A and B are shown apart, each in its own frame.
Chain A
Amino acid sequence: MSIEVSGVNKRYGDFVALEDINLTIPTGQLTALLGPSGGGKTTLLRVIAGLETPDTGTISIEGVEATALPVQKRNVGFVFQHYAAFKHLTVAKNVAFGLEIRKKPRAEIAAKVEELLELVHLSQFADRLPSQLSGGQRQRMALARALAIEPSVLLLDEPFGALDAKVRKELRDWLRRLHDEVHVTTVFVTHDQEEALEVADEIVVVNQGGIEQIGTPEQLYDEPANDFVMSFLGDVTTLGGSLIRPHDVEVTTSPLSEHSLEGTVSRVLRIGFEVRLTVLTDDGEVVTAELTRTHARALQLEEGANVFVTPSPGAYMMPAPSLAG
């Protein structure tokens, strides 16, 4: 097992950043630490890297007890949200930094830098300064720099958080492919559930300093451990007192079963290919449903229409938490 975190606590004054964290991250996988801002995921990543010291608890990396090791000795590659590019050094010098510190022979450094720049598609930018690169290119440079030291684990702190949506999506796919090539144990922090679901082999949901659930993207989406995980990983609505995903709500003009609830369409919102419907049931419940545009048109749905809402067969549902809680 590559990274073992046990009994880790971390406080900043009165604020509990991490509370009794126990976590095992398997070797060679791409793991996401997913959670809302301020939930402790970045702190956890920095504790693993050695950039923060836990108040209690231990960290071991590749079987080596690392709790007392400074960041320099942990052999981790760390990638920052805002790239942390060495502004006065060229792209090639940035990538070579860790190797120069390790006093590797010049020829070896040059060969390694060339290989890595090839890997991150920056070969033609080797002699540029970071300020002459785009955000996406800077982050790829930072990744090459972290990989140069052949780290036992690669840690990425919201690596695509500062990039615009299109570049973020490209880099996400690229990271997945890169990981399939390089196979270094990778942990990345994100608050974007779509990013985690798309890229990670395993997701750790972190919230309020604790771990809510650990599992594969499928497990988390299909069998969320609690209402927090369910609502964080995707949209949810309530139907008959249960939590359900809006795309699992069937909308019909006649009742489908005895579970169908009658209601009135109060709002129709069209977003690209999908239509988001708000239905006010006769019991006074507000239900959101998602349909394809074609389906919505076939049913001739408009505001004020009388409809029935029913959970799809096989839909995952869980009791909704009481409003007081």
Chain B
Amino acid sequence: MAETRRSPRTPLTYVLRIIVIAYLGLLVAWPVFLVGWNAFHVPDVGFTTQAFGEIFSDPQMMHAIQLTCIAAVVATLINLVFGVSISMLLVRTEFPGKRILSAMIDLPLSVSPIVVGLALVLVYGGREGWLGPALESVGIQVIFATPGIILATAFVSLPLVIREVIPVLEEIGTEQEQAAASLGASTWQTFWRITLPGIKWAVIYGVVLTLARSLGEFGAVKVVSGNVLGQTRTATLAVEEKYLNFDQQGAYAVAFLLASVSVICILVVFVLRARGARVR
């Protein structure tokens, strides 16, 4: 790899560096660090893991964490399958309305999650929703139940896989796929053997980002879940609940758990990106 050409260092370079570091530090690093610090440190007592012990021995808290994990994993799987399919559709085919679809994919990122929650209630609400009563008559409850939480989570994290995969699909082009076809591979064989390995890293980044985003979803889930203790309360909702009930130690501990998973996800992406860049 060619050596990157650097512009000469001037006092301005150092000023810019300090500004950027201060900005990231004050906005991101220091507050997140304090969450971790407060999860372990109790004034007058010192360092303790007591709050974590309480969480792990509380069946309702464990249920909340479990529900968050299930919703995040299922939503990620849904977005994996749909994300890759939609990306293939958008890059490899031409159809009327393609640009509108492409623009709609960014909607979940630009709309406030609380709006997403309200919109889902309007469609799937059990009593007055557009589709909800029909689903309820066949025994499927969406709003105030796990399916609603999964839907809301999937909605807000929808674009992440697609936005990772589309540029890579465009970059690798169609020649390898045409070559595979000329060698006798069916569309399905070409997808599994040629296209998917080509977009592998993009899919993995997309999945990790989706998972991280899904674990932390709050606004949309708050509207659709009903926040029923031990049933539809997720980990993020539990953080709010504990905080409002002056159990700040507990709130910090759950928050710390959620943040740790996200940090691990980001680290995984970081390592994978470095590897992916080397492979490519």
A interface with B by C-beta (< 8 Å) = 49-51, 70-72, 75-78, 80, 82, 84-88, 97-98, 101-102, 142, 145-146, 148-149
Instruction: Tell me how far the C-beta of A188 lies from the nearest C-beta in chain B, rounded to whole angstroms.
Output: 15
Interchain CB contact under 8 A, A97 and B180: yes
Task: Please pick, from B178, B184, B197, the residue contacting A98 in the complex, using a CB distance under 8 A.
Answer: B184
Instruction: Tell me how far the C-beta of B128 lies from the nearest C-beta in chain A, rounded to whole angstroms.
Output: 50
- 8 more A-B contacts (CB under 8 A) besides A71-B181, A72-B182? A71-B178, A75-B184, A76-B182, A80-B179, A88-B197, A88-B200, A97-B183, A149-B183
**Would you call B176 an interface residue if the criterion is a C-beta within 8 Å of the partner chain's C-beta atoms?**
yes
**Would you call B194 an interface residue if the criterion is a C-beta within 8 Å of the partner chain's C-beta atoms?**
yes
Report B-chain residues with C-beta under 8 Å of the C-beta of A51. Answer: 178, 181-182
Report B-chain residues with C-beta under 8 Å of the C-beta of A70. Answer: 181
Interchain CB contact under 8 A, B179 and A86: yes
List B residues 164-186 near A (Cβ within 8 Å).
172, 175-176, 178-186
Q: How far is the CA of A75 from the CA of B181 in the complex (A)?
A: 10
Interchain CB contact under 8 A, A84 and B184: no
Report A-chain residues with C-beta under 8 Å of the C-beta of B36. Answer: none
Instruction: Tell me how far the C-beta of B152 lies from the nearest C-beta in chain A, rounded to whole angstroms.
Output: 36
Complex A-B: 22 CB contacts under 8 Å: A49-B182, A50-B182, A51-B181, A70-B181, A72-B181, A72-B184, A72-B186, A84-B176, A85-B176, A86-B180, A87-B172, A88-B197, A88-B198, A97-B180, A97-B183, A97-B185, A97-B193, A98-B183, A98-B184, A145-B183, A148-B183, A149-B183
Known: A72-B186, A101-B185. A87 touches B176 (CB 8 A): yes
Instruction: Tell me how far the C-beta of A136 lies from the nearest C-beta in chain B, rounded to whole angstroms.
Output: 18
Q: How far is the CA of A145 from the CA of B181 in the complex (A)?
A: 13
Q: How far is the CA of A185 from the CA of B198 in the complex (A)?
A: 32
B interface with A by C-beta (< 8 Å) = 172, 175-176, 178-186, 189, 193-194, 197-198, 200
Instruction: Tell me how far the C-beta of B83 lies from the nearest C-beta in chain A, rounded to whole angstroms.
Output: 21
Interchain CB contact under 8 A, A86 and B194: yes
List of 10 A-B pairs having minimum Cβ-Cβ separation, nearest first = A98-B183, A84-B175, A84-B179, A78-B182, A88-B197, A101-B184, A71-B181, A101-B185, A72-B184, A84-B176
- Chain A: which residue is nearest B176 at the CB level? A84
Q: How far is the CA of A77 from the CA of B182 in the complex (A)?
A: 7
Report A-chain residues with C-beta under 8 Å of the C-beta of B184. Answer: 72, 75, 98, 101-102, 149
Report B-chain residues with C-beta under 8 Å of the C-beta of A87. Answer: 172, 176, 198
- Chain A: which residue is nearest B185 at the CB level? A101
Instruction: Tell me how far the C-beta of B173 lies from the nearest C-beta in chain A, rounded to whole angstroms.
Output: 9
- Chain A: which residue is nearest B177 at the CB level? A84
Interchain CB contact under 8 A, B194 and A101: no
Task: Please pick, from B176, B182, B198, the residue contacting A71 in the complex, using a CB distance under 8 A.
Answer: B182
Instruction: Tell me how far the C-beta of B18 lies from the nearest C-beta in chain A, rounded to whole angstroms.
Output: 40
Task: Please pick, from B185, B193, B200, the residue contacting A72 in the complex, using a CB distance under 8 A.
Answer: B185
Instruction: Tell me how far the C-beta of A151 lies from the nearest C-beta in chain B, rounded to whole angstroms.
Output: 9
Q: How far is the CA of A75 from the CA of B179 in the complex (A)?
A: 12
Q: How far is the CA of A50 from the CA of B172 in the complex (A)?
A: 21
Interchain CB contact under 8 A, B175 and A82: yes
- Chain A: which residue is nearest B200 at the CB level? A88
Interchain CB contact under 8 A, B178 and A84: yes
Interchain CB contact under 8 A, B198 and A80: no
Report A-chain residues with C-beta under 8 Å of the C-beta of B175. Answer: 80, 82, 84
Interchain CB contact under 8 A, B182 and A101: no
- Chain B: which residue is nearest A85 at the CB level? B176
Instruction: Tell me how far the C-beta of B70 lies from the nearest C-beta in chain A, rounded to whole angstroms.
Output: 33
- Chain B: which residue is nearest A50 at the CB level? B182
Report B-chain residues with C-beta under 8 Å of the C-beta of A101. Answer: 183-185, 189
Report B-chain residues with C-beta under 8 Å of the C-beta of A71. Answer: 178, 181-182
Q: How far is the CA of A51 from the CA of B177 in the complex (A)?
A: 11
